[in-house]
Structure 1
């Protein structure tokens, strides 16, 4: 039936939305891990500078590296913000799909109940022929 196909398509859509949400969560987690690794690199570099491990010769290279790390951190923060928004949108799309699936299931159940009632009414209204067991 058409209603069954619509319900199956909606169930597939809900599953797909859930998979897309999980993929977005994984992307966001990977971005946050990269940002944490960047912060650890920055902290290690600053710690080395504080200890005087670099001579005056390597100070400029360390400064360039710190600027590069800061730029990358800014880019990762912006990317994480975009991914957080995309994840929120995926979640909302999933909720909408689930709500629509629920409405379709209810409509499908109502239609099945309506058909059952009509079948019973047809059975009651159908004229009964002579009973074969009576003479």
Structure 2
């Protein structure tokens, strides 16, 4: 039934040789090493890519992120925003729950930005130190 490569049969999954780490949930592979049904398409696509090619693609993505300003600053150095090369598969049921939380957080962020660029009540109340906002070069 599962005609996809096992962790030891594809170069992309060579790091799985010797068994799956049982101490952590692996979203793509079951403990016996077979691919979970929701990840079959992704596993197939990844098994066809050589590890060196995947690394080159990830490096190019990092450079593109830096060139386009998709970065964050850590210790004064701009770094590309991290992006997992393997998409996370989310079921419809999981997404329904996540969607509600994401929508709530978007509303909260929009209200925060509206206040910071408007009345600045959050700053006046001392919830956020004014220096954190005023010292940001993009404010």
Q: Normalised by the size of structure 1, how large is the TM-score?
A: 0.24
Rg larger in 1 or in 2? 1
Q: As a proportion of its length, which structure holds more strand?
A: 2
Q: As a proportion of its length, which structure holds more helix?
A: 1
Q: Normalised by the size of structure 2, how large is the TM-score?
A: 0.23
Greater relative contact order structure (CA < 8 Å, 6+ sep)? 1
